[in-house]
């Protein structure tokens, strides 16, 4: 179901958003009857608290929503989203001002509160409707919300229904909707086109591996997005234990976030030449699975010793990155659910990123908070380069010891980006472990809104 604001002509109730410290001042301007009603209800202005205000005939004439204290808001990404699902069904309009720098975030959170993954049963939450607040670009916020909805749906869909073929269909539908061009290289044709590592990782699966290549826009700077599309990861011959395999439907979260970001860019008509590359595979077990100690030769000629078949995401990304870098894009970004080490470092709520471009790093760090999309920079630590050099081959896909795993993975990927003028890598989780306002448990977008906010400065748009 589309996540949109209510039609402007819709009948609506005024909604007063109140902090605990502003409640008394607001009450001083109300009738004795309203003051008594609020006092009797115990409404305090706490986050998530709501109260309907009845008129003389008992029908509601307005509503209150708690906005909490500044300290409480600092712990919540979307504050009003808690009220959106607590209010009685109906349409509301903001009746008092919120800080300008919070308007878009709170409007977006309200729309995202209406998201539910309903492919297999109706999980649509009961969510009140909102008129687009004055001063908010309604179209932009709706694009952001529906792009995240796409990403969440892709991550939430199990691999039986979201394998490489289905992921290709989603990309084709997105391309058709926005007038983009798309081509797909599949199966043995990957070898002929020199994508040996994408083929090696995916060749054991029932659905053939493929590289999805989508292009949109004919003017402006060049931007290439590369998303890890491992639709299910068994670990290969280094088979994951059952507990570690439980969430592997989300191992294509990089591709899902990349497609969500591409949708934003196209729907908002940014003046860029966009390219999206998605290596779509399943890392499965069969007689022709790639093996530990195999040495693969990547597209750019580098040899890679396989010391763990469960470190496959960097292999498929390497071929796609090398391919994208051949056109020397102004900016290239990779997104992947790549390492558990990144989760240990920053937890599930932050999207860590790596880049050598100081301007891009500054722009991302500045854009994240305002976009309600927190990111955190980790280093391309040069001394760790030796950890990914096994001696028998150019690179090691899984250095022993486990130290600095997110950094060594990022260093590995950087080896394949020669030619790109600016490169950033995001090692995301793409999953909300526990429900929060505006963020239902399950698939999550991480990084794209921060990237979108950083692009105008980085690409001089």
Residue 249: active-site member: no
Token pair of 333 as six digits: 């970004």
Q: What is the DSSP letter of 5?
A: P
| Phi, psi dihedral angles at 4 (to 5 degrees) | -130, 160
Q: Is 52 helix (H, G, I), strand (E, B) or coil?
A: strand
Burial (0-12, 13-18, 19+ Cβ within 10 Å), 349: middle
Q: Please name which of 344, 356, 348, 351 lies closest in space to residue 369, comparing C-alpha atoms.
A: 351
Q: 3-state DSSP helix/strand/coil percent for the chain, to nearest 5? A: 35, 20, 45
Nearest-angstrom CA–CA distance, 260 and 262: 5
Nearest-angstrom CA–CA distance, 111 and 6: 10
Q: Which of 77, 299, 314, 343 is catalytic?
A: 314
Token pair of 330 as six digits: 């102004």
Instruction: Tell me how long the chain is.
Output: 461
Instruction: Judge contact between 43 and 66, C-beta under 8 A.
Output: yes
Q: Which residue has the tokens 């240990």?
A: 344
End-to-end Cα distance, the chain? 32
Token pair of 69 as six digits: 């204290």
Do strands 295-297 and 351-355 pair parallel, antiparallel, or not at all (unpaired)? unpaired
Give the CB-side neighbour count of residue 313, counting CA atoms within 13 A: 30
Instruction: Judge contact between 261 and 278, C-beta under 8 A.
Output: no
Nearest-angstrom CA–CA distance, 296 and 395: 10
Cβ atoms within 10 A of the Cβ of 403, count?
A: 11
What's the farthest any 2 CA atoms get from each other in the chain? 83
Q: Which of 140, 215, 240, 377 is catalytic?
A: 240
Radius of gyration of the chain measured on its C-alpha atoms: 24
Nearest-angstrom CA–CA distance, 141 and 147: 10
Q: What is the DSSP letter of 348?
A: S
Residue 240: active-site member: yes
Q: Which residue has the tokens 């919540």?
A: 76
Q: Please name which of 182, 348, 176 lies closest in space to residue 253, comparing C-alpha atoms.
A: 348
Cα dihedral 345→347→350→356 (10° resolution): 10
Residues taking part in catalysis: 240, 314
């Amino acid at each position: 179901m589309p996540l949109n604001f209510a039609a402007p002509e819709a009948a609506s109730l005024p909604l007063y958003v109140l902090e605990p410290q502003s409640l008394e001042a607001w009450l001083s301007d109300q009738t004795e009857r309203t003051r008594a009603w609020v006092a009797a209800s115990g409404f305090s202005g706490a986050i998530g608290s709501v109260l309907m205000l009845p008129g003389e005939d008992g029908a509601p004439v307005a509503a209150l929503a708690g906005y909490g204290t500044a300290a409480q808001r600092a712990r919540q990404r979307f504050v009003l989203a808690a009220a959106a699902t607590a209010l009685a069904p109906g349409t509301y309009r903001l009746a008092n001002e919120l800080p300008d720098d919070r308007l878009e975030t709170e409007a977006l959170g309200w729309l995202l509160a209406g998201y539910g993954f309903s492919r297999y049963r109706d999980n649509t939450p009961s969510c009140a409707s909102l008129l687009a607040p004055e001063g908010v670009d309604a179209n932009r916020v709706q694009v952001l919300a529906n792009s995240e909805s796409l990403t969440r749906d892709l991550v939430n869909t199990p691999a039986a229904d979201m394998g490489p073929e289905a992921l290709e269909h989603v990309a084709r539908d997105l391309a058709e909707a926005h007038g983009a061009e798309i081509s797909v290289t599949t199966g043995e044709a990957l070898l002929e086109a020199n994508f040996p590592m994408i083929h090696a990782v995916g060749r054991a699966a029932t659905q053939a591996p493929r590289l999805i290549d989508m292009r949109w826009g004919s003017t402006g700077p060049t931007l290439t997005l590369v998303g890890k599309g491992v639709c299910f990861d068994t670990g290969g011959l280094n088979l994951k234990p059952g507990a570690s395999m439980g969430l592997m439907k989300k191992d294509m979260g990089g591709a899902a976030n990349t497609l969500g970001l591409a949708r934003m860019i196209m729907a908002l008509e940014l003046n860029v030449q966009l390219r999206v590359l998605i290596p779509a595979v399943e890392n499965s077990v069969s007689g022709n699975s790639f093996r530990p100690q195999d040495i693969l030769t990547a597209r750019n000629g580098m040899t890679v010793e396989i010391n763990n078949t469960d470190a496959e995401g960097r292999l498929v990304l390497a071929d796609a990155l090398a391919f994208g870098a051949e056109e020397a894009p102004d900016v290239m970004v990779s997104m992947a659910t790549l390492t558990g080490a990144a989760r240990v470092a920053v937890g599930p709520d932050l999207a860590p990123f790596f880049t050598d471009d100081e301007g891009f790093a500054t722009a991302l760090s500045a854009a994240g908070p305002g976009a309600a999309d927190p990111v955190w920079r980790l280093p391309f630590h040069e001394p760790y380069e030796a950890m990914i050099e096994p001696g028998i081959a150019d690179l090691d896909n899984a250095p022993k010891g486990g130290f600095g795993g997110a950094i060594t993975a990022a260093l590995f990927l950087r080896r394949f980006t020669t030619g790109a003028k600016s490169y950033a890598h995001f090692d995301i989780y793409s999953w909300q472990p526990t429900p929060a306002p505006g963020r239902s448990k399950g698939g999550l977008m991480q990084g794209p809104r921060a990237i979108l906010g950083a692009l105008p400065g980085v690409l001089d748009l």
